[in-house]
């Protein structure tokens, strides 16, 4: 299989147009006949975090279909939204170790990883995040991949902890070209808000902050939850809960 090409693009429409043109030439079909199936890894990156932990994200793309497919992989939250275009043979798997750094040369930024398959069905996407500490690797954590463009506009993220044992980060992501308004309500008991925060998130934006930065009055708490509402069906919120001693992480995605 030829090595995927690396590109930068000024807009998503140009990326899709380029991919459609390449595919239409190879198949002798018109660009209008092409179908694009979306999948998104909610967060990925090669970054150094608290305690000197270096986090990285591995991604695998498997083509279960009985024919070859073309895919576009991009980092939505990075300036110029770099992307690669590649083909995956029927039954084959394309793997990326430390994808943001090794494939795109991006370090120090978090971003959703979008996978677009030029077919009626998406390839199967698997993503794992792990950290490198002074004592070795953390336990790998499997990320929940979202298929399709739209996410639930109401969601609850449970089992969040802040204190001596755990720290929690909240990610707010808008991978679309339209603004999103996101409401976050901190709850100890379902339906009873302790505090409420509203944020306006620009297009193609990824924000990650500690839970106690979003809610400064929360200095310590166990098993609190986050009720989420947003105006953009492509936007979503996730959480990562990290043990302070081992730095092992647990991911909670849209549900």
Q: How far apart are CA 154 and CA 239, in angstroms?
A: 15
pLDDT of 21 strictly over 70: no
Three-state SS for 108-136 is CCEEEEEEEECCCCCCEEEEEEEEEECCE
Question: Residue 93 pairs with which residues in a beta bridge?
Answer: 62
Average pLDDT over residues 138-142: 94
List the CATH number of the domain containing 240: 2.60.290.11
Q: 52-81, pLDDT tens digit by residue?
A: 999 999 999 999 999 999 999 999 988 888
Separation in Å, CA 203 to CA 53, 147, 182, 207: 29, 20, 13, 12
Q: Is the distance from CB of 128 to CB of 55 less than 8 angstroms?
A: no
Average pLDDT over residues 158-166: 87
- Residue % of the chain over a pLDDT of 70: 86
Q: Is residue 20 domain-shared with residue 114, that is, in the same domain?
A: yes
Given pLDDT bands bounded at 50, 70 and 90, which one contains residue 24?
very low
Q: Is 232 helix (H, G, I), strand (E, B) or coil?
A: coil
Given pLDDT bands bounded at 50, 70 and 90, which one contains residue 29?
very low
Q: Is the distance from CB of 228 to CB of 155 less than 8 angstroms?
A: yes
Look at residues 147, 175, 194 and tell me which one is the last residue of a structural domain. 147
Q: Is residue 128 domain-shared with residue 61, that is, in the same domain?
A: yes
Q: 191-226, pLDDT tens digit by residue?
A: 899 999 999 999 999 999 999 899 998 877 778 899
Domain count, the chain: 2
Q: What is the pLDDT of residue 33?
A: 53
Q: Is residue 109 domain-shared with residue 12, that is, in the same domain?
A: yes
220 phi and psi angles, rounded to 5 deg: -160, 140
Q: Is residue 225 domain-shared with residue 131, that is, in the same domain?
A: no
Q: How far apart are CA 193 and CA 200, in angstroms?
A: 20
Q: Is residue 58 domain-shared with residue 10, that is, in the same domain?
A: yes
Look at residues 92, 112, 147 and tell me which one is the last residue of a structural domain. 147
Q: How far apart are CA 173 and CA 131, in angstroms?
A: 22
Residue 216's CB: how many other CB atoms inside 10 A?
A: 8
Q: How far apart are CA 193 and CA 183, in angstroms?
A: 12
Q: How far apart are CA 166 and CA 131, in angstroms?
A: 16
Q: Is residue 100 domain-shared with residue 203, that is, in the same domain?
A: no
Instruction: Report pTM.
Output: 0.83
Q: Which domain holds residue 223?
A: 154-252
Q: How far apart are CA 133 and CA 128, in angstroms?
A: 17
Look at residues 131, 147, 163 and tell me which one is the last residue of a structural domain. 147
pLDDT of 12 strictly over 90: no
Q: 191-200, pLDDT tens digit by residue?
A: 899 999 999 9
Separation in Å, CA 186 to CA 99, 102, 196: 33, 37, 6
List % helix, strand, coil for the chain (3-state, nearest 5).
15, 50, 35
The residue whose two tokens read 């002074």 is 134
């Amino acid at each position: 299989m030829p090595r995927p090409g690396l590109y930068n693009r000024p807009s998503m429409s140009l990326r899709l147009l380029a991919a459609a043109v390449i595919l239409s030439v190879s198949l002798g079909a018109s660009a209008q006949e092409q179908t694009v199936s979306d999948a998104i890894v909610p967060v990925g990156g090669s970054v150094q975090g608290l305690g000197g932990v270096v986090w990285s994200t591995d991604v695998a793309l498997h083509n279960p279909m009985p024919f070859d497919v073309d895919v576009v992989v991009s980092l939505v939250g990075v300036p110029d939204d770099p992307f690669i275009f590649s083909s995956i043979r029927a039954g084959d798997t394309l793997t990326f170790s430390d994808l943001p750094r090794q494939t795109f040369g991006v370090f120090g930024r978090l971003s959703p990883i979008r996978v677009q398959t030029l077919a009626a069905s998406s390839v199967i996407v698997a993503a794992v995040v792990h950290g490198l500490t002074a004592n070795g690797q953390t336990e790998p954590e499997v990320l929940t991949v979202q298929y399709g463009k739209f996410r639930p506009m109401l969601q609850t993220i449970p089992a969040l902890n802040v204190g001596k044992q755990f720290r929690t980060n909240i990610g707010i992501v808008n991978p679309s070209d339209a603004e999103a308004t996101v409401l976050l309500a901190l709850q100890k008991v379902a339906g009873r808000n302790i505090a409420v925060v509203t944020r306006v998130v620009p297009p193609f934006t990824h924000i990650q902050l500690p839970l106690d930065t979003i809610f400064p009055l929360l200095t310590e708490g166990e098993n609190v939850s986050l009720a989420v509402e947003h105006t953009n069906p492509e936007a979503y919120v996730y959480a990562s809960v990290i043990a302070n001693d081992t730095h092992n992480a647990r991911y909670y995605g849209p549900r």
